[in-house]
Amino acid sequence: MEHTILFFIFGLLIGSFLNVVICRMAEGETLMGRSVCRSCRKQIAWYDNIPVFSYLVLGGRCRQCEERISWQYPTVELLTGILYGLVGMFFFSPTPFGILEALWLLVLVSLFISIAFYDLRNMEIPVTLLFLGIAVALIYLSATFFLFERAWPFWTTALGTGLMGAAIVGGFFFLLVFLSHEKWMGWGDVWLGVLAGLAVGWQLAFFLLTLSFALGAAVGIGLLALRKKSMQAQLPFAPFLVSGTLVTLFLERTASWLTRFFLW
C-alpha cells in the first residue's frame, strides 16, 4: 500500500509537468522557466502550483487576474496520479522485471495522457511524442526479451506478441486512412495504433479496437443528443484509443485483484 501512495504522489507531480508539456508544445515554447498564468502572464507562486490542491483552494481562478483556470490542469494531475497509483499497486514489485515493467508503464501513461489532451486541445496528434513512445516501447520489449524471455518461442514473448499487435492495430488504422483518403482518421491515429498494439499485444488487439470504437460511439452519440456537436463535426479519436488501451492494460490486473479481494 505504501508504494501505491508514493506512486500516486509522484504521479500528481508528473501530471503537473505534463500540463506544461501539453500547453507549451502547442505554442512552441521551451519547457524551461517558471510557470506563468495563461491569461495575465504573471508568475505563479509555488504555493499556488501544488497539484489539484491549489486549484481547489483558488476556486479554479488565478490569484492575480481572477481569470478561470482550465479544468485541464487538475484533471491531468489527478488522472496521472491515479494511473501511476494503479501501476504501483498492480505492476510494481521489487524485482528486476517488476521495476522494468513499472517504469515502462509510467512512461507510457505519461505519453498517452499528453497525446490525448493535446489532441483534445488542438485536434492534432503530436507525432514527436508518438515516435518517442514507439522507440521506448521497442526498447522495453527488446530488453524484456533479452533479459527474461530469450528461451521462449518468439511469438509467445512480449516482443513477438507486441509486434503482431502493432501490425493488427496499426494496420487497421492504416486501412481506414488509406480507404477514406484521411477523411475518417489521420496518420497520427496509425502511429498511435502501432504504439497501442505494441503495448497490449495481439491477443488483446481486437478487444482494444472494439472498446475504443465503443467509447468513441458512446461519447459521439452523447454529444449529438446534447446538441454539443453536429453530425459533420469531427471528434478527435486519440482520447478514445488511449482510454481503450489503458483500460485494456489495467483491466486484467484490476479484475483479478477485485476477485481476490471479494473472495477473501
> Which residues would be at the binding site for Zn ion (CB under 5 A)?
37, 39-40, 62, 64-65
* Coil vs helix vs strand at 68: strand
C-alpha triplet 213, 19, 48: angle, nearest 5°:
140
Nearer to Zn ion, 52 or 62 (CB): 62
The string of DSSP codes covering 93-154 is -SSHHHHHHHHHHHHHHHHHHHHHHHHHHHSS--HHHHHHHHHHHHHHHHHHHHHH-TTS-G
Question: Does residue 27 sit in helix, strand or coil?
Answer: coil
Q: How far is the CB of 35 from Zn ion (least distance, A)?
A: 11
CB of 74 to Zn ion, least distance (A): 16
Place of cell 488509406: 178
Q: Tell me how many degrees the CA angle 152-158-164 measures, rounded to the nearest 5.
A: 105
Closest CB to Zn ion among residues 43, 93:
43
* Least Å from the CB of residue 57 to Zn ion: 15
Q: How far is the CB of 37 from Zn ion (least distance, A)?
A: 3
Nearer to Zn ion, 43 or 259 (CB): 43
Q: State which residue, 65 or 258, has the beta carbon closest to Zn ion.
A: 65
> Nearer to Zn ion by C-beta: 39 or 243?
39
**Least Cβ distance, residue 34 to Zn ion (angstroms):** 14
Determine the distance from the C-alpha atom of residue 1 to the mean position of all C-alpha atoms in its chain, rounded to a whole number. Answer: 23
CA distance 13 to 245: 23
Dist CA 106 CA 138 (whole Å): 15
* Least distance to Zn ion, CB of residue 64, Å: 5
Cell matching residue 97: 522485471
Smaller CB separation from Zn ion, 57 or 99: 57
Nearest to residue 100, comparing CAs of 154, 145, 166, 135? 145
Q: Output 37 or 136, the one with its CB closest to Zn ion.
A: 37
Least spacing, CB of residue 60 vs Zn ion, in Å: 12
- Of 127, 84, 85, 126, residue with least CA distance to 107: 84
